[in-house]
Amino acid sequence: MWAICASFGLTITVPAEDNELLGELAGVAVSTKLVERTAEDLGHEIAADERAVVVPPETDKPVAPTLYLGVDGTGVPMRKQAVAGRKGKQPDGSSKTREAKLCTIWSAEGRDQNGVPVRDRGSVTYSAAIESAANHCDDSQPPEFTQRAIREATRRRFHQAQRRVILGDGAAWIWNLASEHFPDAIQILDRFHAKTHLADVAKSIYGSTSDLTFTWIEKRYKELDSGNITALLHALRTHAATNQDARKCLDYINANRQRMRYDKFRQQGLCTSTGVVEAGCKVVVGTRLKRTGMHWTVSGADAIIALRCCKLSGRFDDFWKRRSAQHHAAA
């Protein structure tokens, strides 16, 4: 069953579609439940293989001059027992989801017609799971997701790139991970997240439809893009005493101002957007695990996420070769 799925590349579609395609392409009639169990079983094997220290760095192609590492999270709808007692965003304080965290590495040596860096085709790899990035006082090892990011960076030879860049949305855990484990990397706050914060401030002060709102936003965007953080902070301080959103945004920019030198980053030809990471959250997790009516266990979700990361990162053939070699050695 695994071999049939692998040969037709059916492991990243939903089970019902796999079932139909197996019938059409291979003439094999299997139940949807069998496809589901097979996909999860294979995903568990891939997840174990991903955690194995014996998986070597990828040495089949040269390391790009600049490599980007981005991390983000997205909610996965869970079964009730998987979120029991967890705090969330529901009106009663409960949760319906668990966060799958994604680590993405890519290069962007190409440029579009405006000179903006463009992701290099085939350069993106993914590693993700429902894991914690929080440090625990009694733990001798880094958090699970931090270990995942380190493994992915090792496989991609991130440390060998001439320039290494960490992109994030401003969450403290991202910069803690970057500073502790990739201290030489350039840290960049996603420019569109910064602009979203500024737009929210303008709407809070002037309303969502006022001409003053759009005028204020335009000025702040120009200051941000030109690297005039001093003027930007002055504009926010004007409203910080009377507006909570302005006060929060002021703190946000103060904390990240060194990561918001977009004029300098642009001159250096660096990406300033986490679009690749956000797209990864959608293609790796969203399109498969967030369909209408789906609810997952942590184990089941992690298995499917591992399978999708492997397939979408172009690593499925390598995994299959290792698996076959192990089975032959055991025989």
Structure confidence by residue, pLDDT tens digits, 160-174: 999 999 999 988 999
pTM of the complete model: 0.88
Confidence band, pLDDT 50/70/90 cuts, at residue 103:
very high
Q: Are 121 and 294 in contact (CB under 8 A)?
A: no
Q: Are residues 115 and 130 in the same domain?
A: yes
Looking at the structure, tell me whether residues 310 and 204 fall in a common domain.
Answer: no
Averaged pLDDT, 37-64: 85
Q: Tell me, yes or no, whether 12 and 48 share the same domain.
A: yes
43 and 81 together in one domain: no
Which residue from 199, 194, 188 is spatially nearest to 266, judged by alpha carbons? 188
Residue 179's domain comprises: 66-189+274-280
Examine the domain organization and report whether 183 and 85 are in the same domain: yes
Mean pLDDT of 37-41: 87
Distance of CA 29 to the CA centre of its chain: 36
Q: Would you say residue 127 lies in a domain? A: yes
| Same domain? 198 vs 123 | no
pLDDT bin (cut points 50, 70, 90) of residue 34 is confident
Q: Are residues 51 and 71 in the same domain?
A: no
Structure tokens belonging to residue 117: 């860096």
Angstrom distance (rounded) from CA 102 to CA 112: 26
**Does 198 lie in the same domain as 165?**
no
Q: State residue 60's pLDDT score.
A: 78
- Residue 228, exposed/middle/buried by CB under 10 A (0-12, 13-18, 19+)? middle
pLDDT given at position 3: 45
> What single DSSP character describes residue 158?
G
- What's the angle, vertex CA 10, arms to CA 82 and CA 69, rounded to 5? 65
Indicate the pLDDT class of residue 61, thresholds 50, 70 and 90. confident
Residue type (1 letter), 245? D
Query: At residue 270, does pLDDT exceed 70?
Result: yes
